[in-house]
Structures are given as structure tokens and as C-alpha cells.
Amino acid sequence: MVGKWHLGYMKKEYTPTHRGFDSHLGYFSGYIGYYDHTVLDTTNLANNPVYFGLDFRNGTEILKDQHGKYATHVFTETAEQIIRNHNTSKPLFLYLAHLATHAGNLFKPAEAPPEIISKFKYIKNFYRRIHAATISVLDDSVGSVFRALHEKDMLENSIFIFVSDNGAEVNPKEGGYGSNYPLRGNKETPWEGGIRLPAIIWSPLLNLKKPHVAKQMMHVSDWLPTLYRAAGGDPHELGLIDGFDMWNTLLEDSASPRTDMLQNLDPIQGTSAFRLRDLKLVNGTTGTAYDFWHGPSGSEGFSDPSIFEWVFKNGSVVADVLKEMGLWIVEDPFDVYQRLRIKCQKPPPKDAYIACQADKNPCLFNITADPCEYKNIADQHPEVVRRMMDIINMYKAESMEPQAKPSDPRGDPMCHQFVVVPWLDPEYYNECDFALGSTLQKEDR
């Protein structure tokens, strides 16, 4: 594994190499600085308002000698090295979770190599320009990994997936300069702008004669049984899991075995979202400021053909590799681009927000016909709303109570020479003198 973990690290047993991965070079937190590899979190920890420390490691070894190296480059080089050193008589699962294009630390959320930023001078907003540069370097990374697999003679028997984990952050105060245009909402919201994600899957095993745009319903939990099946396994061996095997759906463009999807159930904020075939119910809000349509389209001042021609003029390592292999099947790239686009009325209708205020009443949408969530049809289908709310309540009754705990001051990197560590392990547990007094007294009681 390379890159972002963000699945807990209070003890070593929760970290990647104790959770099935043979190796891990990257970071434990949700983000780091692109060049200094530190994490700054303003969560209030006891009397310390700032949580700050180095979060960059190779397994258990803290990496201090990588300071000043751009994180995307470090992760790409590591992935290339893993591929070069791999024994091809054995299968390889490589999980590369890039920092890009997530915001870094709030004191410098957007960072990219200056020579790359200068390529985007035509973008007026300076921070959007840097954001574009981070995407450009990420694009180069994809090409480098593709090339490495080709040079190792592994690409023809590979499945390559490129996917995000959530919608973009559009609030500059949170370090965000992305856009979910034309969709509604932001990351950490149940609106389509927060949860509807593009994904690319490429493999000779798909036997495609031309590019295909799959629009069937799929959930992130479906990747496990799908890839297990594609690798030759029987998904039934995985036991009772939430995911569905989508491999035949991708191979044959057949109907998805999934007909519904719990998209959100948050008992703390009181929000929920549920998808049933074409219909989607949204109940509650994560913050009404995010219930709108945010972000620029990114194409201001340009026509679609001119942007498209400019992109392809700049070339693609992936395209070059596939042409070398005789596997390039994109005859009309502009047609694929057009089929991928989500087209909605712009700007949104003036009454769209008033018609749906999910903090007051559940909203219902035909999400297939109305992906931008303009038209609330809850009043027209009260029986459907009741049925979907019943299903949500059923999930609620079956769900576990949230296990979230308050921040532990002993985890403050300041206690550990300003390094992020699994602080509840014995070698770190007693390093935080300033917190021990009050914490241990409470535990003794």
C-alpha cells in the first residue's frame, strides 16, 4: 500500500501492515502537507488548540529525509519500485491512495511544483490554478504507473481502477478549491455532489471492442466481491457481506444486481439518504450552507471542443502505452466525453432550494432523470416516502451505536517529538506528561 490510510492508528494493530498489507509508505491521517508531510489539525486537544506533527513513514520507520519532496512524486516512485521489484509468478494487489487532489494543511492548502503551476496561467483564480497543477501531476502519476506495469509485462493481465472517495470540497475556508458542478452539495453531504463519483476501470480482461460508459448503480462495497471474482475467486467464499459482484454487469453491460443503496445514516447529525432504483430520499442536513449548488464549471470562457482539443493535444502516457500494445480502442474521444457528462439546466431553477429543504422535510428525487436534484417530488409520492423512511428506520434499528471517542491528549504529536504515532502502544503511552495527570486520575476513578 502507498499513500493515505485514515482508518485509525491509536495502536499498531490498526495500521496497514497489521491489516493485511505487506508494506506501507505514506501517512495515517486524513491529509498532510504536500512538501513538509506534516499534519495540522485544529481539533481542540485538552489545553492545546493545535495538533501538529510529522506524519510520513515507511512501515514503522519515520521518514524525515523526504522533507521537501512533493508527495505525489514520492508515492509514484514508490509504486513504480514495488512494480519493478515484484515477483511476477505471484499476483499483486497495489493500493495507491494519493494525497492529490485533497487539500493539505490550512496554512498552505494548495501546493504544486511551480513549473507545473505556470502551465495554467490562463486560469484566473490563483488557487484554482494550483488545484489544476495538482491534478496534472496526478495525471502524470497514472501514466507512470501504467508505464511501469507495461515494462514489467504485467499490464496485459492487470485490472486498473481509478476512483475518488468522495465529492470535492468547494469551501476555501476548508482549503477547498474543487467543484462538483453541476451537481448539488459538497463532500460530507448526502447530495450527489458529495457521493456520486466518476470511476475508470481498464483491463484487457473486459474484452471491450470500444469504450463503454456504465451507468448502473454501484456502491463502494461492491469492489471487493467484483475484484475477487475477476481475480478468479468465488464471491460466496467471502461470506455475508454488503457488496454485490458487478463483474458480469461490467462485462456484459447487463442490469446491476444492486437495486438499493443506503447512502447515509448518521444518528449524531440526524441525517439519512437512501436510493431505491431510480428514486433517492434525502432526510436532514449536514449544514444548510452545503445544500446548494457550488463551484465553477471550470469551462468559463471556453467552448467544449476547444477544451477537448487542448487536452488531447497535450498527449497521454496511458494512450501511448496502449497504442504500443495495440490495445487503444478509443476511436472518437469526444463522443466518450459527451456521454460521460451530466447535463442539467443552468443555473438551477430559482425554486429548487425552496422546494427541497431537507432539514425540515424529507425530499424525494428521480435521480436518473434529475441527477442535479432540482425537482422534489415527495409531495406527489407520499407513500413512497413512507416506504423508504421505513427502510431507513429498519437500518437504524440494526445499526451499531457510533464508537467515536473524544480526542485523546496523549495522541498529540507534541508529546512524541512532534511525530504522529500509535500512542496507545506501550512505547508511547507514557510520553505525554502534560496530559497524564488529569487523564490517569479519571481512569483511576
DSSP assignment of 336-367 = HHHHH-----SSPPTTHHHH--TTTS-EEEET
d(C-alpha 113, C-alpha 217), whole Å: 38
pLDDT at residue 441 greater than cutoff 50: no
Name the DSSP class of 48.
B
Q: Give the pLDDT of residue 49.
A: 63
Q: Which pLDDT belongs to residue 69?
A: 98
Q: Which of 141-145, 168-172, 268-272 has the highest mean pLDDT?
A: 141-145
Question: Biggest alpha carbon distance in the chain?
Answer: 71
Average pLDDT over residues 228-250: 96
CB atoms closer than 10 angstroms to residue 411: 21
pLDDT surpasses 50 at 272: yes
47 pLDDT tier (thresholds 50, 70, 90): low
Residue 33: C-alpha distances to residues 39, 72, 168 (Å): 6, 11, 18
Cα distances (angstroms) measured from residue 14 to each of 6, 37, 72? 10, 21, 24
Grid coordinates belonging to 115: 513549473
Nearest-angstrom CA–CA distance, 347 and 3:
38
pLDDT mean over 228-253? 96
Phi, then psi, of 81 in degrees rounded to 5: -65, -40
Contact 342, 371 (CB under 8 A): yes
End-to-end CA distance of the chain: 42
Residue 335: band (very low, low, confident or very high) from pLDDT cuts 50, 70, 90: confident
Our measurement of the distance from residue 186's CA atom to the centroid of its chain's CA atoms, rounded to an integer in Å, reads: 13
For residue 184, the model assigns a pLDDT of 96
Instruction: Look over the chain and give the mean of its residue pLDDT values, rounded to a whole number.
Output: 91
pLDDT at position 46 is 53
C-alpha cell at 396: 437504524
- Reported as a single tens digit per residue, the pLDDT across 407-436 is 888 899 999 999 999 999 999 988 777 555
pLDDT in tens, 150-171: 999 999 999 999 999 999 998 8
Residues of the chain with pLDDT > 70, as a percent, come to 93
Confidence band for 313, pLDDT divided at 50, 70 and 90? confident
The pTM assigned to this predicted structure is: 0.92
The pLDDT score that the predictor gives to residue 438 is: 45
d(Cα 440, Cα 445) in Å, to the nearest integer?
9
Q: Residue 431: its pLDDT value, please?
A: 79
Q: What confidence tier does 444 reach under pLDDT thresholds 50, 70, 90?
A: very low
For residue 442, the model assigns a pLDDT of: 42
- Give the pLDDT confidence of 339-372 residue by residue, as tens digits: 888 989 888 998 999 999 999 999 999 999 999 9
- How confident is the model over 46-58, as a mean pLDDT? 82
DSSP state of 252: H
**Residue 440 confidence (pLDDT):** 44
